[in-house]
Amino acid sequence: MNCLRSSEQILMDEMVPSPESLATKDHTSSVHSSRAGEAGQKPDTGNIEEAESSLRESGCLNYEEARALLGRYEYQKGNIEAALHVFEGIDIASVIPKLKLALAERVQTQKRRSRSFSTPPLSINAASLLLEAVFLKAKSLQALQRYKEAAQSCTVLLDILESSLPAGLPETFATDCKLQDTLNKAVELLPELCKLADAPREAIMSYRRALLHQWNLDIQTTAKIQKEFAIFLLYSGGESCPPNLQSQMDGSFVPRNNIEEAILLLMILLKKISLQRIEWDPSILDHLSYALSISGGLKVLASKVEELLPRTIDRQEMYLILALCYYGGEDNFTALNLLRKLLSSTEDLTCVPGLLLASKVCAESPDCAREGIIYAHRAIESLQERCSQLLGVANCVLGLSLSAHSRTILTDSERVKIHSDALKSFESAGKLTKMSDTNVIYHLCLENAEQRKLDVAVHYVNWFLKLEGGSTLKGSMLLARVLSAQKRFLDAETVINVALEQSGKWDHGELLRTKAKLQIAQGQVKNAIETYTQILAILQVQRKSFRLGEDLKEFGDHCRTLELETWLDLASIYIKLSQWRDAEKCLSKTEAISSYSACRLYTAGLLNQSKGLYKAALGDYSNALAVNPSHVPSLVSSAVVLRKIGKQSPAIIRSLLTEALRLDRMNASAWYNLGLLYKEGGLGSAAEAADCFEAAIILEETEPVEPFR
């Protein structure tokens, strides 16, 4: 006792409680050596008090307890190898039954609220001391990078506590000893050790064990484990088997994969934050944003952000996150309204990310393009003499807004000026980003292609492909379209064939459709029909391979759209060949896919028009325009049929054609028919008719097999 009460140092070589307690004699030399230079360091008085308490109950320290106490002392001094040597001398296998009995007996005693007449083999303090020794042994092994052995030691500790205390550690234990603290640390440590030992499956099992067993952990410890587990599930790179939650009630949600399990954990953490049980941690929202964005749950993320209490998250950040969520969920209207509120006079006027996003959203709606130009200019003004890369992005979104705005302008002079400004903005963006931003290069190519600067467009699309590291679906499609506009159909088909070889089977649909149109342009109608048949075969295999649920909704919509377009393309081929029965069969296939599609109604009109049923054709075109008033082919075809019928005034026909040209200035058919109207109807001069015919010829000579966008 005098030895243990010493406030200067523990002289373990002077402890003589019994021959059995001389367990440290094989390590005396290491103790003496470790005391060199440590004479002034005091041991933890809390350890000594526990030892005293143990001695009062049992009378002396036995062999294992003495080693546990000495090992802890060496560990606290930083003598890791010496501590491990001491801990390895403890025969934990022989002590486990005593530990389990002592813990179980203590629980029963506390339940009866009276002292048991039977004497446990170990006091609770002695049990706590030995269990801490097992934990410190794991920590020592971890420090020595023996991670697998450390995980085994930690597992032994948790196995003892789990089997002895199936209902968890009683709260009263915390007032008597350090057992709860040791348990908290062990539960946190085991998954980390498994990760360090390169055992991801065991790490996931240990995380689940930590969260599902009744450990009576405090809420902060549980939250920390949940966050670390979610991060591991998201970024570990492996896919684990889903949890077997037999204890859950019927109908409860059970995660099917890593992403769903991580999302569940992160949502639980956000709920705790909303209930103010844990402090706000921005990284939780960052990880949840990533998880939901890759799984298509952006609107769910928006609802979770909206549930956060005021002042939990910065107001500006909240608006930006919500706007991104709704924009990603294809709700541009809500996203733009949120951004308008953020960028209003009462909010931050210089929020560059908000300005850039608002300009990008506006660029996707020609009616809002003028507003997008204003936002882009504000962003450029805020970024002067700042980040050149971000300034390049601002110039790019300005170009997008200008290009969209140009499509709403009627006068040629103003439209040419806006087109020129858009191209200058993209070129400025390219210089500021040092021609390394693929998005900027792609839009440079698009803008030049639409202005029929085809050689420049080819240069940019080749540069885009180089930056992308070879053939990409997006780049190959654009290159093939530009080459087709140059009437280099063989070169364009070669590009598509290379892309087909380098892409996966599920990506072949769009490529094959472009190939079929290239074959039609070369007069290879039979080959084109065979190519379309390949597309339908791929789509049939995809339907059998996937059950399109909510998680595959976007993929399913894409497949249905491609199938509809394929049948309509085939119907158009048969209409041109006057094979009307085959065309009708193709149209009947599309009715089940989308009976109210503007494209389907337009193709039905073409069939009736080819049969000479002009009134029926006009009805089909009118129905198509009722579904989509901006459907340019229906506007042009309506004008053609009305001109052939000859019962409508030329002014109505002209209004249809001018509306078509307002929506698509590069439509050669609209210019040609407007020229015919001017020539025959007396609404315009011969010079105007000649200008229309000239525009039609130029556009037809540079028309791609598919629109550039």
Contact criterion met (CB below 8 Å) for 209 and 158: yes
Residue with tokens 């204003």, as numbered in its chain:
374
Burial class (CB in 10 A: 0-12, 13-18, 19+), 328: middle
> Would you call 535 helix, strand, or coil by DSSP?
helix
User: 14 or 640, which is more confident?
Assistant: 640
Contact criterion met (CB below 8 Å) for 569 and 705: no
State both tokens at 135: 């934990």
Res 350 pLDDT > 80: no
Q: 26: pLDDT confidence band, cut at 50, 70 and 90?
A: very low
pLDDT at 130 (0 to 100): 86
pLDDT at 172 (0 to 100): 63
Backbone angles phi, psi at 264, to 5 degrees: -60, -45
Contact criterion met (CB below 8 Å) for 219 and 249: no
| N- to C-terminal Cα separation, the chain | 87
Task: Write the secondary structure of 2-25 as one string of H (helix), E (strand) and C (coil).
Answer: HHHHCCCCCCHHHCCCCHHHCCCH
State both tokens at 186: 């062990």
What global pTM score does this model have? Answer: 0.71
Residue 193: CB partners within 8 Å, gap ≥ 6? Answer: 138, 142, 147, 150, 151, 154
pLDDT at 625 (0 to 100): 93
Contact criterion met (CB below 8 Å) for 116 and 104: no
Please report which residue ranges of 251-351 form alpha helices under DSSP H: 258-274, 282-294, 298-307, 315-328, 332-342
Neighbours of 504 (CB within 10 A): 7
Q: How many residues does the chain have?
A: 709
Q: 224: pLDDT confidence band, cut at 50, 70 and 90?
A: very high
Q: 48: pLDDT confidence band, cut at 50, 70 and 90?
A: very low
Tens-place pLDDT, residues 92-143: 888 888 888 878 777 666 555 545 445 666 777 888 888 888 899 999 999 9
Residue 626: CB partners within 8 Å, gap ≥ 6? Answer: none
CA 415 – CA 404 distance, rounded (Å): 11
Res 618 pLDDT > 80: yes
Q: Lowest-confidence range among 167-171, 195-199, 459-463?
A: 167-171
User: 544 or 658, which is more confident?
Assistant: 658
Q: 545: pLDDT confidence band, cut at 50, 70 and 90?
A: low
Contact criterion met (CB below 8 Å) for 131 and 157: yes
Tens-place pLDDT, residues 75-97: 898 889 988 888 888 888 888 88
Q: What angle (nearest 5°) sits at the alpha carbon of residue 232, between those of residues 226 and 236? A: 170
What is the amino acid identity at position 652? I
Q: How confident is the prediction for the chain on average, in pLDDT?
A: 81
> Would you call 119 helix, strand, or coil by DSSP?
coil
Closest CA to 517 of 545, 537, 489: 489
Q: 372: pLDDT confidence band, cut at 50, 70 and 90?
A: very high
Closest CA to 708 of 530, 388, 450, 518: 450
702-706 contacts: CB < 8 A, separation 24 or more?
702/452, 702/454, 702/485, 702/486, 703/485, 703/666, 703/668, 704/449, 704/481, 704/482, 704/484, 704/485, 705/481, 705/484, 705/492, 705/514, 705/517, 705/518, 705/520, 705/521, 706/481, 706/484, 706/514, 706/517
Contact criterion met (CB below 8 Å) for 140 and 84: yes
Res 548 pLDDT > 70: no
Tens-place pLDDT, residues 233-264: 998 877 767 666 554 545 566 777 888 889 99
What is the amino acid identity at position 368? C
Neighbours of 430 (CB within 10 A): 22
pLDDT at 1 (0 to 100): 31
Res 56 pLDDT > 60: no
pLDDT at 3 (0 to 100): 35
User: 502 or 196, which is more confident?
Assistant: 196
Number of H helices, E strands in the chain: 35, 0
State the Cα torsion 503-506-509-514 to the nearest 10°: -10
The DSSP symbol for 310 reads: T
Closest CA to 590 of 558, 563, 553: 563
Tens-place pLDDT, residues 554-600: 556 778 888 899 999 999 999 999 999 999 999 999 888 887 889 99
pLDDT at 441 (0 to 100): 93
CA 636 – CA 420 distance, rounded (Å): 28
How far is the CA of 93 from the CAs of 87, 97, 156, in angstroms? 13, 8, 10
pLDDT at 110 (0 to 100): 57
* pLDDT mean over 603-631: 92
pLDDT at 61 (0 to 100): 65
Res 46 pLDDT > 70: no
CA 691 – CA 696 distance, rounded (Å): 9
State both tokens at 18: 């019994």
pLDDT at 555 (0 to 100): 55
Contact criterion met (CB below 8 Å) for 636 and 667: yes
Q: 314: pLDDT confidence band, cut at 50, 70 and 90?
A: confident
Run of H or E residues at 660: helix 650-663
Q: 696: pLDDT confidence band, cut at 50, 70 and 90?
A: very high
Could you give the count of Cα atoms lying within 13 Å of 205 in the half-sphere of its Cβ? Answer: 8
Contact criterion met (CB below 8 Å) for 10 and 43: yes
Closest CA to 373 of 403, 350, 331, 343: 403
CA 381 – CA 328 distance, rounded (Å): 27
